[in-house]
C-alpha cells in the first residue's frame, strides 16, 4: 500500500508530498454524474456498491494519495431520527428543525452498525479495493448543529446563535447528543477499517473566538479524546475559515490541522506547533492557466517545506464547475514538484 499520506499525517519523512482533494468524488466528474443520473443523492449514500464505485473514481482517474469515503456529514443526523432531504440546487433540508426540549428529547443516539450499516459496509468493501489509505469522516458537532437548528444551510446563523445565547442549556443538551452520536460513528468507522478520520467544522469560522471556545471546541476535544482510547489512526481537524482560531484549534487534540486558503500556509505552520498541516490551495485557483497554477503550487510546496508534515489539499471542496483536466494538472504538479519518482 502507498502509505505516504499516513506518514505525512504522523509527521514522518516522506518521499514526496501526498495529495487529495476535499470533495474529490463529486459533480465535477462526468463519471460521478453518470452514477448520480440513476439514483438520488441519498440513495447513492445508502448503496455500498455505488459509494465504493464513486470513491474509487478519482483515485483511478488522477492518482490521489488518499481516498475519502463517499457519504455525507448529515447521514448520522438522519439516523438520529430526523427527516433529511436533499433538494436539487438548494442543498440539505431538515423540514422539522430542532426548536425546543421536546425536539432534543426525540433524538436518539444510534448504534452505527444497526442504523448506518451501509457506511461501514462501504468501508469494508473499499479496503479490499484500495491501494491508498481510506479516510473516514464526520461533521463537527457545532457544524452539524447549525443544519439541525437552521433547518438547512444558512448565511448569518441567526437561529443557531440565538439558541446559544438565549438558551445555552438547550443548546448544550443538543450538542451533547450530537457529540455522543459522532463519537460512536467515528469509532465504528475506525473499527470497520478507516485508516484516518477527518472532522469537518465547515462553519467554525462564523463564530467569535470566545463563542468558538464555549460552543464548538469542547465537543471536538471530547470526540478526539474518546477516539484516542480505542484507536491510533491519524485525526485531521478542519475548521473552515479558521485562521483566526488557530491558537484554539491547536488544542483540539488532532494530529493534522486542515487549513483553508485565507491564510498563508507558512504563517499557519509557524503557529501550529507539533501538528502536521493539510491544505490549502484556493479551490478556484484550479481555474488559473496551467503555468500560473503550477507556479502557485510550487510556491505553496516551498512555503510548507518546514511543516512537521504536509498533505497537499484544497482549502475547501472542489467546485462542481472545475474542469477535470485542471485537477489532473494540479495533482501531477504536486507529485512532480515535490519529487515523486
Per the listing, cell 510556491 goes with 299
225-237 per-residue burial string, b: 16 or more CB within 10 A, e: under 16: ebbeeebebbbbb
23 is an active site residue? yes
Among the listed residues 36, 214, 262, 296, the single catalytic one is: 36
* Given 72, 180, 201, 255, the catalytic residue: 72
Of the listed pieces 70-78, 114-122, 164-172, 245-253, which binds ligand CP3 according to CB under 6 A?
Answer: 70-78
Q: Please check whether residue 172 is in contact with residue 180, taking contact to mean a CB–CB distance below 8 angstroms.
A: no
Radius of gyration of the chain measured on its C-alpha atoms: 19
> Is residue 91 involved in binding ligand CP3 (CB under 6 A)?
yes
Are 147 and 74 contacting, i.e. CB atoms less than 8 angstroms apart?
yes
Q: Strand 85-87 vs strand 91-93: parallel, antiparallel, or unpaired?
A: antiparallel
Residue 287 CA to residue 333 CA, distance in Å, equals 15
Residue of 16, 28, 32, 147 marked catalytic = 147
Q: x/- site string to ligand CP3, residues 147 to 186, per CB under 6 A?
A: ------x---------------------------------
Q: Taking CB under 6 A as the criterion, which residues in 227-286 touch ligand CP3?
A: 240
Contact between 36 and ligand CP3 (CB under 6 A)?
yes
Joined grid coordinates for residue 318? 472542489
Among 11, 193, 317, 324, binds ligand CP3 (CB under 6 A): 317
Scanning the structure block, which residue is given the C-alpha cell 510550487? 298
Are 293 and 285 in contact by the 8 Å Cβ rule? The answer is yes
Task: Map 258-314 to HEC letters.
Answer: ECCCCCCHHHHHHHCCCCEEEEEECHHHHHCCHHHHHHHHHHHHHHCCCCCCEEEEE
What percentage of the chain's residues is helix, strand, coil (to nearest 5)? Answer: 50, 10, 35
In what helix (H) or strand (E) does residue 237 lie, and over which residues does it extend? Answer: strand 235-239
Stretch that binds ligand CP3, among 65-73, 154-162, 179-187, 301-309 (CB under 6 A): 65-73
Instruction: Candidates 2, 11, 23, 266: give the one binding ligand CP3 (CB under 6 A).
Output: 23
Count of residues that interact with ligand CP3, criterion CB under 6 A: 21
Which residue is associated with the grid cell 455505488? Answer: 50
**Grid coordinates standing for 239?**
475548521
Per CB under 6 A, does 27 bind ligand CP3?
Answer: yes
Nearest residue to ligand CP3 by CB is 202
Pick the binder of ligand CP3 from 35, 66, 73, 181 (CB under 6 A). Answer: 73
First-residue to last-residue Cα distance in the chain: 16
**Which of 6, 9, 19, 22 is the binder for ligand CP3 (CB under 6 A)?**
22
Interface with ligand CP3 includes 25 (CB under 6 A)? yes
Residue 63 as a binder of ligand CP3 (CB under 6 A): the answer is no
Residue 187: active-site member: no
Minimum Å gap between C-beta 172 and ligand CP3 is: 22
Concatenated DSSP letters of 165-195: HH-HHHHHHHHHHHHHHHHHHHHHHHHHT-S
Catalytic status, residue 36: yes
Active site residue 72: yes
Which one of residues 6, 29, 66, 74 is an interface residue with ligand CP3 (CB under 6 A)? 74
Residue 103 is among the residues annotated as catalytic for this protein: no
Looking at the Cβ atoms of 118 and 303, the one nearer to ligand CP3 is 118
Q: Which stretch binds ligand CP3 (CB under 6 A): 18-26, 115-123, 278-286, 323-331?
A: 18-26
Q: Which residues of this protein are in contact with ligand CP3, per CB under 6 A?
A: 22-27, 36, 41, 68, 70, 72-74, 91-92, 137, 153, 200, 202, 240, 317
Q: Which residues are tagged catalytic? A: 23, 27, 36, 72, 147
Amino acid at each position: 500500500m502507498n502509505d505516504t499520506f499516513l506518514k505525512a499525517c504522523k509527521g514522518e519523512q516522506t518521499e514526496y508530498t501526498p495529495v487529495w482533494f476535499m470533495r474529490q468524488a463529486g459533480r465535477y466528474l462526468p463519471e460521478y454524474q453518470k452514477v448520480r443520473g440513476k439514483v438520488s443523492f441519498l440513495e447513492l449514500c445508502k448503496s455500498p456498491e455505488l459509494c465504493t464505485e464513486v470513491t474509487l473514481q478519482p483515485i483511478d482517474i488522477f492518482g490521489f494519495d488518499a481516498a475519502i469515503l463517499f457519504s455525507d456529514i448529515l447521514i448520522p443526523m438522519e439516523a438520529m431520527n430526523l427527516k433529511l432531504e436533499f433538494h436539487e440546487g438548494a442543498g440539505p433540508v431538515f423540514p422539522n428543525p430542532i426548536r425546543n426540549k421536546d425536539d432534543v428529547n426525540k433524538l436518539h443516539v444510534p448504534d452505527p452498525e444497526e442504523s448506518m450499516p451501509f457506511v461501514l459496509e462501504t468501508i469494508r468493501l473499499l479496503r479490499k479495493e484500495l491501494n491508498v489509505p481510506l479516510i473516514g469522516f464526520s461533521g463537527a458537532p457545532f457544524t452539524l448543529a447549525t443544519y439541525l437548528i437552521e433547518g438547512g444551510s444558512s448565511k448569518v446563523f441567526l437561529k443557531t446563535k440565538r439558541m446559544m445565547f438565549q438558551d445555552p442549556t438547550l443548546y448544550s443538551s443538543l450538542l451533547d447528543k450530537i457529540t455522543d452520536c459522532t463519537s460512536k460513528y467515528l469509532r465504528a468507522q475506525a473499527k470497520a477499517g478507516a485508516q484516518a478520520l477527518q472532522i469537518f467544522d465547515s462553519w467554525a469560522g462564523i463564530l467569535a473566538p470566545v463563542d468558538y471556545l464555549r460552543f464548538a471546541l469542547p465537543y471536538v476535544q471530547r470526540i478526539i479524546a474518546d477516539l484516542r482510547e480505542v484507536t491510533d489512526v491519524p485525526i485531521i481537524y478542519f475548521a473552515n475559515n479558521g485562521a483566526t482560531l488557530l491558537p484554539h484549534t491547536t488544542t483540539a487534540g488532532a494530529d493534522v490541522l486542515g487549513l483553508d486558503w485565507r491564510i498563508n500556509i507558512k504563517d499557519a505552520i509557524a503557529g501550529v506547533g507539533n501538528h502536521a498541516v493539510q491544505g490549502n490551495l484556493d479551490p478556484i485557483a484550479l481555474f488559473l492557466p496551467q503555468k500560473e497554477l503550477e507556479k502557485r503550487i510550487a510556491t505553496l510546496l516551498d512555503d510548507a517545506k518546514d511543516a512537521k508534515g504536509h498533505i497537499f489539499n484544497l482549502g475547501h471542496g472542489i467546485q462542481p464547475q472545475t474542469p477535470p483536466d485542471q485537477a489532473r494538472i494540479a495533482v501531477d504538479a504536486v507529485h512532480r514538484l515535490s519529487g515523486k519518482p
